[in-house]
Chain A
Amino acid sequence: MRILKAKKITKAFGGLLAVNNVDFHIDSGEIVSLIGPNGAGKTTFFNVITGIHEATSGEVQFLGKKLKKSKPFEITKLGIGRTFQNIRLFASMTVLENIMSGQYCRTHTDLFGAIFATPKAKLEEKKIREKALELLDFLELTDKKDELAVSLPYGYQRRVEIARALATEPKLLLLDEPAAGMNTSEKLDMTKLIRKISEKGYTTLVIEHDMKLVMGISNRIVVLDYGNKIAEGSPEEIQKNPKVISAYLGKGGAQ
Chain B
Amino acid sequence: MVNLFIVIKNLTIYTLILFLSIKLLSKGFDYTAKKLSRANKHTKAAALFISAIAIFAWPFLFADYPYILRTSIIVLLYIVLALSLNFVLGFAGQLSMGHAAFYAVGAYTTALLTVNLKVSFWLAFAASAVIAGLFGLLLGIPTLRLKGDYLAITTIGFGEILRLVLINWTSFTRGPAGIPGIPSPKLFGLTINSNTGYFYLILALAVFTVFISYRLLNSRLGRGLIAVRDDEIAAEAMGINSTYLKILAFVLGAVIAGMAGSFFSTFVHYVNPDNFNYMESVVILTMVVLGGVGSIPGVILGAAVLSILPEALRDIATYRYAIYGILLVMMMIIRPQGMIGKSSFKGGVRHENTKSKKNHKSLWRAVGS
> A residues within 8 Å of B by Cβ?
71-73, 76-77, 82, 84, 88-94, 97, 100-107, 109-111, 113-117, 121, 124-125, 128, 146-148, 150-151, 164-165, 167-168
Contact = CB atoms under 8 A, between A and B. Distances in A.
Given A109-B219, A117-B215, A88 B239 contact: no
A124 B220 CA distance: 9
Interface of B: 211-212, 215-216, 219-224, 226-227, 229-231, 233-242, 248, 252, 294, 342-343, 346-348, 350-351, 359, 361-363, 365-366, 369
A148 B219 contact: no
Given A92-B343, A93-B223, A107-B220, A148 B362 contact: yes
Nearest to B213: A115
A125 B347 CA distance: 21
A114 B234 contact: no
Given A104-B240, A146-B350, A91 B366 contact: yes
B222 A114 contact: yes
A92 B223 contact: no
21 contacts: A73-B235, A73-B237, A76-B236, A88-B237, A90-B231, A90-B234, A93-B226, A94-B347, A97-B223, A104-B223, A104-B227, A114-B219, A114-B222, A115-B212, A115-B216, A148-B347, A150-B362, A150-B369, A151-B361, A165-B238, A168-B239
Contacts of B221: 109-111, 114
Nearest to A150: B366
Contact of B240 (A73, A116, A128, A148): A73
Contacts of A106: 239
A77 B239 contact: yes
B240 A88 contact: no
B216 A101 contact: no
Given A109-B220, A114-B219, A151-B347, A92 B230 contact: yes
A76 B237 contact: yes
A72 B215 contact: no
A30 B369 CA distance: 37
A25 to B, nearest CB: 23
Contacts of A111: 216, 221, 248, 252
Most buried by A among B240, B350, B351: B240
A92 B294 contact: yes
Contacts of B346: 92, 94, 148
A84 B230 contact: no
Given A104-B240, A125-B219, A84 B366 contact: no
Contacts of A91: 230-231, 366, 369
Secondary structure call for the A interface: helix
Contact of A101 (B223, B233, B365): B223
B236 A72 contact: yes
A71 B236 contact: yes
Contacts of B359: 147, 151
A88 B234 contact: yes
A167 B224 CA distance: 14
A70 B216 CA distance: 28
A38 B88 CA distance: 41
Contact of B365 (A82, A124, A150, A167): A150
Most buried by B among A90, A101, A113: A101
Contacts of B216: 111, 114-115
Contacts of B239: 73, 76-77, 102, 104-106, 168
Nearest to B342: A92
A115 B347 contact: no
Given A90-B226, A94-B347, A124-B220, A101 B240 contact: yes
A103 B224 CA distance: 10
A105 to B, nearest CB: 3
Given A117-B215, A148-B346, 5 more contacts: A72-B233, A73-B236, A76-B238, A90-B234, A91-B231
Given A114-B221, A125-B220, A90 B240 contact: no
A147 B224 contact: no
B224 A73 contact: no
A77 B236 CA distance: 10
Contact of A164 (B236, B238, B366): B238
Contacts of A73: 235-242
A110 B244 CA distance: 12
A92 B220 CA distance: 16
A165 B223 CA distance: 15
A92 B238 contact: no
Most buried by B among A76, A111, A167: A111
Contacts of B350: 146
Nearest to B233: A88
Contacts of A128: 220
A133 B229 CA distance: 24
A93 B223 CA distance: 9
A147 B365 CA distance: 13
Given A88-B233, A92-B294, A150-B365, A168 B223 contact: no
A92 B226 contact: yes
Contacts of A105: 238-240
B223 A100 contact: yes
A91 B219 CA distance: 18
Nearest to B363: A148
A124 B216 CA distance: 14
The 3 A-B pairs with the shortest beta carbon distances in the complex, nearest first, are: A105-B239, A151-B362, A114-B219
